[in-house]
Structure 1
Amino acid sequence: MVKLQRVQRPKTQRGKRALKEREPKLLENARSLLCIRGNKTNNVMKVLLKNLHLLKSPHSKMYQRKNLDILPFDSTSKLEWYCQKSDCSLFAFVTTNKKRPNNLVLARLHNHITLDMFEFELNSKTFRSLDDFKCEKFATGNKPCLLFHGELFDNEPDYKRLKCFLTDFFRGEINMKEIDLNGLEHVMTFTIDSQTKLLSIRVYHVELKKSGHRIPRIELNEIGPHIDLTVRRTKLASDDFYKKTLKQPDAIKQKKVKNVTTNELGTKMGRIHMEKQDYNQLQTRKMKGLKRGLITENGQQSEEKRKKID
């Protein structure tokens, strides 16, 4: 027996606009984050979840109630349903218990199906929130500058996927052609130790000061949150499913122009194909000394004048 899927039809103009916003697009919107807390959480994990919500704002939604019987690494169906309901493609889930204290689960979805999921342990002794730093913050919605430090991000496959995940998680707006350097207000650094495999996340505010030259002097001031994470478990998508998510529609692919290349400096170089030329018919500069012969009025060449030329 085939189960038919119910087609959701809008009844109001507001509902029609909401469904149109969720339709597939050639250029997708910025990824939204859904913040959820489990049955048992402490104050530290609540503050961490709130800080993640503020870092992703305005592309973030936060649930205030506890959610019972959710084990992400056993089943993600309920979390996927929450994300589909809230139109989010990222979720952050926090819990704490005796077996896994200060537990943070971050994941991203593709077509409402979990793609990659990472479980971290927060070091509560070194954690400092946004409120612990009494300094100037950045405006909400600004695009951050992401910096990665560590050999593991380039050598090991799992940490390569983690680097891609963190870039996708914090990069903000996607469809941006130009960036104003004056609007680049904060920097996020991700440092991983090759021995302890401790992931350190730091956020800095960019200050442009006078330097006496055209280029200003840049200073970085830490504004929080100050986060140290240890990777516990990972659940990565298969290679086939991951390659499927990287596929782009033909409409946004750049069409290749024949015989046009671009060098390392960005200069376009073109190649022109021409037919074989007959150099006997090539027009040169008109000079008397280059004339083959003089023509008489009747169209016949004068032998006397030809001898003088020779």
Structure 2
Amino acid sequence: MVKLQRIQRPKTQRGKRALKEREPKLIENARSSLCIRGNKTNNIMKILLKDLHLLKSPYSKMYQKKNPDIFPFENTSKLEWYCQKSDCSLLAYVTHSKKRPNNLVLARLHNHIVMDMFEFELNRQTFRSLDDFKCVKFAPGNKPCLIFHGELFDSEAEYKRLKCFFTDFFRGETNMKEIDLNGLEHVITFTLDIQTKLLTIRVFHIELKKSGHRIPRIELNEIGPHLDLTIRRTKLASDDFYKKTLKQPDAIKAKKVKNVSTNELGTKMGRIHMEKQDFNQLQTRKMKGLKRNLPTDDDQTQEKRKKIDQTNKE
């Protein structure tokens, strides 16, 4: 006997709007992150979680209470349930224990299933939070400029996926065609050392100053957080599952236009197919030297004779 699952329909307009907001769309909303902490955490990891929440604001939700019995690399069902409940596809989870001190777990989900997961150890000696930098911050919701340093981001498959993850985590809105230069207020840099494989994350505020030209002079001031992370463990999705997440609906794919291409500089190039030209019918300027040769009297008489001969034969 098959037990049917009961579908609970919304009874209020607010519930209908909430469900409509969660429905699949051709252009999805900005990906939100869920910041939660485990049963045992120290003060540094709490501050780090708060800073990550502020970096993602307003596309972030934070749980203040402790969440025991969560082991991300052993069982992800509880984390997936939390993300589905809060409608988040990104996750930041912090813990602190004797076995794994200053532990940070970052993950992303597809269709409420964990896809990629990374575990880091925070260097508490070099850590500096947002509050440690007494300077001008950025407005919440602004898109950051992301810069990646290191050959491993482009050579090894694991670090390629890590680069893709950080781009997904911090990019914010995706359906923007243009960005105002004044709205680009902060930049996040990711530097990966080849020898030690230490990942350093720095956040800078962009100041536009007069330069005497149209393009302003740019100065960077660090605003925090100041992170030095060491990769402990990774759990990546299979190639088939990863390709499935990259699939786009046909409605948003750009339709291919025949005989039109774009070069490396973005210039639109077109190819035109023309019929074979008849140069005898080409219109030229009325000059004596370009006039067509008219038939002479001898030619006319020869044509008349040919016509007479044809009539006589008939």
TM-score range, shorter chain: over 0.9
> Who is 1:303 aligned against?
297
**How far 1:214 sits from its partner (Å)?**
2.0
Classify 1:257/1:3 alpha carbon distance in 2 versus 1 (closer, same or farther; 3 Å): farther
**Any stretches of 5+ residues in structure 1 without a counterpart?**
294-300
1:164 counterpart SS class: helix
Corresponding residue for 1:30? 30
Q: Which residue of 2 is the match for residue 203 of structure 1?
A: 203
Q: Residues 187-212 of structure 1, C-alpha deviation per residue, up to 9 Å, x if partnerless?
A: 10001111111111100001111222
The answer as to 2:292 corresponding to 1:291 is yes
Normalized against structure 1, the TM-score is what?
0.92
User: What is the one-letter code of the residue matched to 1:292?
Assistant: N
Between 242-251 and 7-16, the greater mean CA deviation after superposition: 7-16
Q: Deviations over 1:111-147 (max 9, x none)?
A: 0000100000111111111011111101011100000
Distance 1:81 1:269, change over 3 A: same
Q: Which amino acid aligns with 1:278?
A: D
The match for 1:143 is 143
User: CA separation in 2, counterparts of 1:16 and 1:281?
Assistant: 71
Residue equivalent to 1:117: 117
Deviation at 1:2, TM superposition (A): 4.0
Report the Cα offset of residue 288 of structure 1: 4.6
Counterpart for residue 235 of structure 1: 235
What is residue 174 of structure 2 aligned with on the other side? 174
> How many angstroms does 1:60 deviate by?
0.4
Residue type of the partner of 2:211?
S
> C-alpha distance in 1, partners of 2:229/2:236?
18
What's the CA shift string for 1:148-203, capped at 9, x where partnerless? 11111111110110000011001111111101111110010001111111111100
Any idea what the Cα deviations from partners look like across 1:76-99, whole Å, max 9, x if unmatched? Answer: 111101101100000111111110
Deviations 1:223-255 (A, max 9, x none): 000111100000000000000000111000001
Normalising by structure 2, we get a TM-score of: 0.91
SS at match of 1:11: coil
In 2, Cα distance between equivalents of 1:143 and 1:160: 22
SS class of match (1:78): helix
- State the superposition RMSD in angstroms: 1.8
Is 1:216 the counterpart of 2:210? The answer is no
Match of 1:102 in 2: 102
Structure 1's 286 and 144: CA in aligned 2 closer, same or farther, altered over 3 A? same
Distance between the aligned counterparts of 1:273 and 1:176, measured in 2? 36
Specify the SS of the correspondent of 1:201: strand
Could you tell me which residue of structure 1 aligns to residue 58 of structure 2? 58
1:62 CA drift (Å): 0.5
Q: For each residue in 1:262-301, what CA deviation from the matched residue of structure 2 results, as whole angstroms up to 9, or x when unmatched?
A: 22222222112223333333333334551332xxxxxxx7
**Offset of 1:46 from its aligned partner?**
0.4
- The alignment partner of 2:162 has SS state of helix
| Code of the aligned partner of 1:182 | N
Q: 1:256 is matched with which residue?
A: 256
Amino acid at match of 1:291: R
For 1:281 and 1:135, the matched residues in 2 are separated by 77
Q: Give distance in 1, aligned partners of 2:3 and 2:232.
A: 39
State the match for 2:281 in structure 1: 281
- After superposition, the C-alpha distances for 1:27-77 in whole angstroms (9 at most, x for unaligned) are 111110101110101101000000000000000000011111010001111
Q: Which residue of 1 aligns with 2:14?
A: 14
Distance 2:174 2:232 in 1: 30
Q: Which residue of 1 aligns with 2:306?
A: none
Secondary structure, aligned partner of 1:94: strand
Which amino acid in 2 is paired with 1:75?
N
What is the distance in 1 between the residues matched to 2:105 and 2:41? 13
Partner of 1:296: none
In structure 1, C-alpha distance between the alignment counterparts of 2:248 and 2:101, rounded to whole Å: 40
Quote the residue 1:89 is aligned against: 89
Residue 165 (str. 1) matches residue 165 (str. 2): yes
Residue identity in the other structure for 2:154:
D
Which range moved further: 62-71 or 261-270? 261-270
CA distance in 1, matches of 2:168, 2:38: 24
